[in-house]
Structure 1
Amino acid sequence: MDIFALIPQFGGLIYTLLAFVVALSIIVAVHEFGHYIVGRWSGIHAEVFSLGFGPVLFARTDRRGTRWQVAALPFGGYVKFLGDSNAASGKDSGVMAAASADPEALRKTMHGAPLWARAATVAAGPAFNFAMSIAVFTAVFMLRGVASDPLTVGEIQPLPGGAYELQEGDELLAVGGVTVPKFNTEGGEDWSAFRAALPEERALAYTVLRDGQQMEVDGPYLYPPLISSVAPRSAAMDAGFRPGDVIVAVDGDPIFAFDQLKSRVEASDGRVLEVSVWREGENLQFALAPRRTDEPQQEGGFATQWRIGVVSGMAIEPAKEAAGPVEALVGGVAQTGAIITGSLSGLWHMITGAISTCNISGPIGIAETSGAMASQGAQSFIWFVAVLSTAVGLLNLFPIPALDGGHLVFYVYEAATGRPPNDRALQVLMAFGMAAILTLMVFALGNDIFC
């Protein structure tokens, strides 16, 4: 074996691990800071704020007596409040017994504070994850801008073939004789109908408004087989496809529309396809086998299709205009809500057997996705961190003992009955919760290896 051939793979592994650690550390820090700061505001003393588990690499104690530390295993974190026996907020009977004689000291413990303070402290972790996601999505929408209305050509994407008369700054009135509706980057019935009505021809007639004059010019098919992004852990990613690639032939048959590519992939039944790609003036050859993919549908539910893992791009990049803060915030909230509802829908469909449980990713899959997103640019990586933050916040709200959601269920029980669950029951439930979490982690890791 040539050991030097392993160097690029080793470098890629380090890059992937670094991206994973950075993404996870940011999310964990935000989550745990939510617990810490709301606990502090609520009068509960935090003894330890830890990023990571295991041997402590760095630590300092602030003037409030909180020990801030970074540990060697960067796969999580915790805040240990006064009265906690461990990172999962189990009760330290010795500390609680000592504090019970002093009402002021008892009030500063996690288990002696009022119910509202404990509930707020626990709920703050997921809430901060959601708030972080909303803030990131809002910032991205503001920086990226929104497509101007009416739809105007901001840039013509590099494509193989001859030059076209279409120019930057042209305002699109009709394409192939089909009137251009209000542009919506996320789809919509009007735009979907417009796309479906386009004549499937390599070159189309564009009716445009240029310098105040209406004219007809020729331009490329609006949805060529141009790759705007590559899905992590997909056949296309494994084969080496990149954003900006243009697929020009499948099994030797020329194509010029993304729908032609889609049809060939869906009809492949998983058979290996020979794909010709145009990349920055070069013609490249790839072989890849489509994979079964569970896709959410606009009307609800999921459909399983053969996919290679690429997202189409338009032949033009629409001109952008600045998004207002309110508009961007609405978009950020909607994006976070869509991730939550999509995740819950996916979980339900896995439970009912409608889609494969292979959709659950473990640490290896998340690490690979982190590296892939980082390799596609800072904006893609930041967007992924926000998506993952929403997922972590949602996961922590599941009613499993040892997770935040489990503690909140205990608090609901306490509010309803006037007393907390007894210590023995809590110990059994916490042990059950830890076992369930470890089982899920092992299952997800198995998915990473075998799916």
Structure 2
Amino acid sequence: MDFLNLLSLPMTTAVFYAIPFLIALLIIVFIHELGHFLVARWCGVSVDAFSIGFGKEIVGWHDKHGTRWKLAWIPLGGYVKFKGDANAASLPDAETVEKAKGDPGNFHGKPVWQRAAVVAAGPVANFILAIFIFSAAFMAVGVPVMEPRVDEVLPGSAAEQAGILQGDVVVSIDGEEIESFAELQQAIFTRAEEELAVVVERNGERIGLTVVPHLKEEPDNFGGKIRIGLIGVKHSPDGGVRFERLGFGEAVEKGVERTWFIVETTFRYLGKLFTGRESTDQLGGPIAMAKAAGDAASNGLFQFVSVVAFLSVSIGLINLFPIPMLDGGHLVYYAIEAVRGKPLGENAQEWGFRIGFSLVIMLMVVGTWNDLVRVATVWFGG
């Protein structure tokens, strides 16, 4: 392979991963901002601009309400600019709020509950998108169903130590009913080194056992590592997997469950991160997200939309973090305003914004650094 061909590989790979990632991101950002936009209109707020992307405008138009809809050059996000917004932070002082009350279309003159509803609508829209995608997939393709039967117990495994035997069928874990082998795996995946109460069915009899999943580090698809819980049981491929299509009600319920599982898993990881039981090397940045989207797209539409749903939940959840600059930070300010009867002072809000901005940049730097380390590992070995 000559040098020019060698140079072309990373660029080809980058394009392959970038396009699906940008498509996924545009969908997620559009739905997020549409949530803000629709609730704002419902509350009578005038919207000056609806932008997908930042920076210089590529194309745009005005609707009959005077809103400028536009697509900008930097596609890593978007925003909705309401009447009365002076900057990206959208944090006015008490004087600005009082002046805005005389203008029915001014966002900052609206009651605090309406402003909170507008802000919360973005992340909520992300969750609704994920539920919609999962539900549609469960109706169109179905859910894989594999009996939670233990066909093999690995020697020295947590399952063997707990007394689980070949042929056992797992009925419940920590009181949660288990209906498939996939649910069994999900129940222990994030529960490494935790004591779990397991009920198995053996020869027609139900037996209660206690199992502690072993912690194991597994390589991901991009040179990094993930930490998972394993109990050391296998299901025979001969058992087969069937896809069971669900009706509308069941599909929506399952979509809500899948969405909540992502939220719960994220909080469990963050809890372990703050207690020192996890490290930041599992955090990913835009390269990791692009890799996930590209891999999913190569495996078909179903896998791609599933990743879109996963990223939508993640972005919605991150936006709800109580960090000034994010939607969650605004909601904290509105909660304080509701209690005090007036907003925080301009200096307090400005400092909060600066701290929040620093935290977001720090998270982006850590995630991007992890991405670059993984890229270097793949390209140069080690």
Q: TM-score, normalised by structure 1?
A: 0.64
> Residue deviations 1:202-227, cap 9 Å, x none?
xxxxxxxxxxxxxxxxxxxxxxxxxx
Maintained 8 Å contact 1:232/1:373: no
**Match of 1:62?**
63
Query: Which amino acid in 2 is paired with 1:397?
Result: L
Does 1:118 find its partner at 2:115? yes
The one-letter amino acid of 1:391's match is S
Alignment of 1:47-446 (within 5 A): 47-91=48-92, 96=96, 100=99, 103=102, 105=103, 107-146=104-143, 178=167, 184-188=180-184, 232-234=221-223, 292-295=225-228, 314-315=237-238, 317-446=240-369
Judging changes above 3 Å, is the alpha-carbon distance between structure 1 residues 314 and 86 closer, same or farther for their aligned structure 2 residues?
Answer: farther
Q: Percent identity?
A: 36
Cα distance in 2 for residues equivalent to 1:9 and 1:191: 50
Residues 154-210 of structure 1: per-residue CA shift (max 9 Å, x gap): xxxxxxxxxxxxxxxxxxxxxxx958899614244678989xxxxxxxxxxxxxxxx
Per-residue displacement from partner, 1:83-138 (whole Å, max 9, x unpaired)?
111233243999x58x92872x2x32121111111010000000000011111111
1 CA distance for matches of 2:287 and 2:145? 40
Native 8 Å contact 1:364 1:448 kept in 2: yes
The code of the aligned residue for 1:295 comes to: I
Other-structure match for 2:175: none
After TM superposition, give the deviation of residue 351 of structure 1 in Å. 1.7
Q: What displacement does 1:233 show?
A: 1.9
After TM superposition, give the deviation of residue 342 of structure 1 in Å.
0.4
Tell me the distance in 2 between the aligned counterparts of 1:329 and 1:393. 19
Aligned-partner SS, 1:111: helix
**Aligned with 2:86: secondary structure?**
coil
CA 1:324–1:426: 2 relative to 1, 3 Å:
same
Q: Is the 8 A contact 1:34 1:128 kept in 2?
A: yes
CA radius of gyration, larger in: 1
Q: Secondary structure at the match of 1:65?
A: coil
Report the alpha carbon displacement of residue 430 of structure 1 after superposing the two structures with TM: 1.2
Give the Cα–Cα distance (whole angstroms) in 2 for the partners of residues 66 and 432 of structure 1. 31
Q: CA deviation at 1:3?
A: 1.4
CA distance in structure 2 between the aligned counterparts of 1:42 and 1:180, rounded to whole angstroms: 53
Once the 2 structures are TM-superposed, how far is the Cα of residue 435 of structure 1 from its aligned partner? 1.8
CA-to-aligned-CA distance 1:38-92 (integer Å, 9 cap, x gap): 0110111110100000111011011101100000000000001011112332439
Higher helix share: 2
Deviation at 1:321, TM superposition (A): 3.8
Aligned partner letter, 2:290: A
1:44 aligns with 2:45: yes
Following superposition, the deviation at residue 7 of structure 1 comes to 3.9
- Pick closer, same or farther for the CA change 1:50–1:178 going to 2, 3 Å: same
Secondary structure of 2:77's aligned partner: strand
Which stretch of the first structure deviates more once superposed, 56-65 or 85-94? 85-94
Residue 424 of structure 1: CA displacement? 2.2
Q: What's the TM-score once normalised by structure 2's chain length?
A: 0.75
Report if aligned partners of 1:233, 1:369 keep a CA contact under 8 Å in 2: no
RMSD: 3.2
AA matched with 2:226: T
Contact 1:134–1:336 under 8 Å retained in 2: yes
Q: Distance in 2 between matches of 1:441 and 1:192?
A: 47
Question: Any unmatched runs of 5+ in structure 1?
Answer: 152-176, 195-229, 235-290, 299-304, 306-310
Distance in 1, Cα, partners of 2:170 & 2:318 = 40
Q: 1:72, 1:185 → 2: CA distance?
A: 45
Structure 2: 5+ residue stretches without partners: 149-165, 172-178, 185-197, 204-218, 375-382
Structure 2 CA distance for aligned equivalents of residues 10 and 318 of structure 1: 38
In structure 2, the CA distance between the partners of 1:142 and 1:387, relative to structure 1 (3 Å rule), is: same
